[in-house]
Amino acid sequence: MNPQFETQIAPMFCLTGKVALVTGGAVGMGKSVGLAYAAAGATVVLADSDERVAALVDLPAGVSARSYDITSEEAIATLVADVVSECGGVDILVNGAVVNHNKPILETSAAEWDSVQSVNLRAAFITTRQVVPSMQARGGGRIINITTIGSVNPVLIGNGAYSASRAGLNQFTRNCALDFAGDAITANAILPGAIITETIPSSLKPRGPGADPTRHLGGFGKPEYVNGIALLLASPAGRYITGQLIAVDGGFLIS
Amino acid sequence: MSINTQAICDLFAVPGKVAIVTGAGSGIGEATAHLFSKAGAKVVIADLVLEDGQRVADAINADGGEAIAISCDVSDEPQVQAMVAKARETFGGIDILVNNAAYRPKADFFGMGVDDWDRMHAVNTRGTFLCMREVIKVMRDQGKERGGAIINISTIGTALPTIVNNVHYDSSKAGVNSITKSTASEFAVDGIRINAVMPGGVSTGGAKKMQTDPSRNFVPKGPIMMPGRLLLGMAEPIQLASAILFLASPASSYMTGHIMAVDGGYLVG
């Protein structure tokens, strides 16, 4: 390895001494980003449902997992309080938790609509509200929300509730960037494209522009494709980037 | 918790890559050239002013890197062709192009001559096109497996107004955004990724000179001069260079056609 890389570049992307809380952290992009943060030196807490946390095995040093009920305000408050007390605080929050029923709009019940907004938007708000005081106390922080390119342009038919929730999270991200800039807290959203994760049900029969493989100029993606931008946004190198919605989509939005 | 430097290196290093950075004799381009070299690249410093470019190349070589300086007016077709040919000949190929060279003098909207308008578009828009055309020829020639990464430097002025007397500049850079997306779509099949960075306020020599040199007869005014609009203050060139390295490196392997603001929150401020 180039010695200059080790001494001068690596520290720019390094997370030594930082604590990262990743929701939706036991699967897909959340897990991938959490492990990348740990490799960059952070202490990482992966938060997810009971079932998903139970399925996690062989976590590397510095990474722990915690289960909670993401629909409960009290459970989120307890999660954050426990992480702050055990790890000393939180410097990086990744709101990666997501649900998607993928149902036609005319067949989506109000209860299903509410459940999607609850996980994808309301929980991100509550978690952010709980975490930011710790970031303020520690002199700064990074909020990274994982949304979707479907929040900007439709991708699949049947994603009405999901895309609306993610568009809400985009704008919440931009407002966090404004509200917390004075605290040296940045807030950005990553908009993944057709990144294939284990959480996509095999029953899903994708229909719509995104179902055409040729629209994804770089082909379908893997969860680790978001690690680079997630690390840039969390690291010293990314401290001037805030309020941005950054597509990691193999060119779908321009196809 | 120990750091896995190799993991960071796998994402952000560009070992053995050949990078052309235009306008690299100062400011964002100079910071990018130095950062690329530390990340393992061989760097071609293309600048209108050879002595500025040579100073940067000398500093990189003295620091253990590999760089050459080439004098180039990017608006001049034969000069661009000669620059790209020399880069390829010297280092055996081209993997990264950063179109950073820019013409920036402000001009009053009513007093602006067509020469001012044309010169601005000749350097910023035509220059970007010419450099891309010549470099993409080489990248395609090298094959899809090797591919390439191109980063165009635009401005947040293309998204929201920042400063007055800058209509021609913003127009020329909006063209750069458009070139970025069109070429990203067209050359994805060749494994070439093309993205743009929109800087906000950056503390470069050019920006400082613009604000302090009385001979330029320019008093900056406009939204960006309002207190607090740059939420995180002015950027140092290294902050732009970091984002440019990200877009040149494997860390952004699934990104193309994206216009990324690195603006300290101006667009939400």
Q: Is B243 on the interface with A (CB under 8 A)?
A: yes
Q: Do A181 and B269 touch (CB under 8 A)?
A: yes
Q: How far apart are CA A132 and CA A141, in angstroms?
A: 8
Residues of A whose CB is below 8 A from B64: 4
pLDDT for the residue B213: 64
**Residues B243, A232: C-beta atoms closer than 8 Å:** yes
The residue of chain A with its CA nearest to that of B7 is A39
pLDDT 10s digits, B132-185: 999 999 999 999 999 999 999 999 999 999 999 999 999 999 999 999 999 999
Question: Which of A36, A66, A45, A70 is CA-nearest to residue A54?
Answer: A66
The answer to whether B8 contacts A231, with C-beta atoms less than 8 Å apart, is: yes
Instruction: Give the chain B residue nearest A180 (alpha carbons).
Output: B231
User: What are the angstrom distances between the C-alpha of B126 and each of A188, A229, B20, B45?
Assistant: 33, 30, 17, 19
Residue from B1, B232, B262 to probe the interface with A (highest A Cβ count within 10 Å): B1
Residue in chain A nearest B180 by alpha carbon: A254
Rounded to a whole number of angstroms, the distance from the CA of B170 to the nearest CA of chain A is: 20
Residue B204 pLDDT: 83
- pLDDT of B214: 64
CA separation for the pair B260, B257 (Å, rounded): 10
In one letter, which amino acid is A220? Answer: F
Instruction: Please identify every stretch of chain B with a pLDDT value under 50, giving residue numbers as ranges.
Output: 1
Annotated active-site residue B169? The verdict is: yes
Taking CA–CA distances from A246, the nearest residue in chain B reads B260
Q: For residue A195, which residues of chain B lie inside 8 Å, CB to CB?
A: 254
Q: Tell me whether residues B13 and A239 touch, CB distance under 8 A.
A: no
**Record: contact A247-B181, CB cut-off 8 A:** no
Q: How far is A224 from chain B (nearest CA, A)?
A: 10
Contact call for A217 and B38, based on CB within 8 A: no
Distances from the Cα of A143 to the Cαs of A8, A150, A175, in angstroms? 25, 20, 12
Per the structure block, which two tokens stand in for A97? 């938790």
Domain A11-245 listed as CATH 3.40.50.720: yes
State the smallest CA–CA distance between residue A95 and chain B in angstroms.
Answer: 20
B151 touches A: beta carbon within 8 Å: no
**Could A41 and B1 be called an inter-chain contact, meaning their C-beta atoms sit closer than 8 Å?**
yes
Kindly state the DSSP code that residue A44 receives in the 8-state scheme: E
Q: Strand pairing of B66-71 and B42-47?
A: parallel
Average pLDDT per run of 10 along chain A, which is 255 residues long? 84 96 98 98 98 96 97 98 98 97 96 97 98 98 98 94 98 98 98 91 87 89 97 98 98 94
Catalytic residue positions of A?
A: 162
How far is C-alpha A129 from the geometric centre of its chain's CA atoms?
16
Are A230 and A28 in contact by the 8 Å Cβ rule? The answer is no
Pick from A38, A240, A244: which is nearest to B1 by CB? A38
Q: Which among A10, A182, A195 has the least Cβ separation from residue B9?
A: A10
Indicate which of A233, A240, A242 best probes the interface with B, i.e. most B CBs within 10 Å of its own CB.
A240
Min CA distance, A32 vs chain B (Å)?
A: 13
Cα(A199)–Cα(A201) distance, rounded to whole angstroms? Answer: 6
Q: SS3 string of A2-42?
A: CHHHHHHHHHHHCCCCCEEEEECCCCHHHHHHHHHHHHCCC
Contacts of A178 (CB under 8 A, 6+ apart): A243, B231, B265, B268, B269
DSSP codes of every residue in A151-195: GTS--STT-HHHHHHHHHHHHHHHHHHHHHGGGTEEEEEEEE-SB
Report which of A106, A8, A21, A172 is spatially closest to residue B64, judged by C-alpha positions: A8
Whether the CB-CB separation of A169 and A147 falls below 8 Å is answered with: yes
From the number of C-beta atoms within 10 Å of its C-beta (0-12, 13-18, 19+), residue B164 rates as middle
Angle at B144 between CA B138 and CA B146, to 5 degrees: 70
Domain B5-262: give its CATH code: 3.40.50.720
Question: Can you give the pLDDT at residue A164?
Answer: 97
Q: What's residue B23's pLDDT?
A: 98
Which pair of structure tokens corresponds to residue A34? 């959490």
Domain ranges for chain A:
11-245
Contacts of B261 in chain A (CB under 8 A): 241, 243-244
What residues in A contact B250, CB-CB < 8 Å?
A: 228
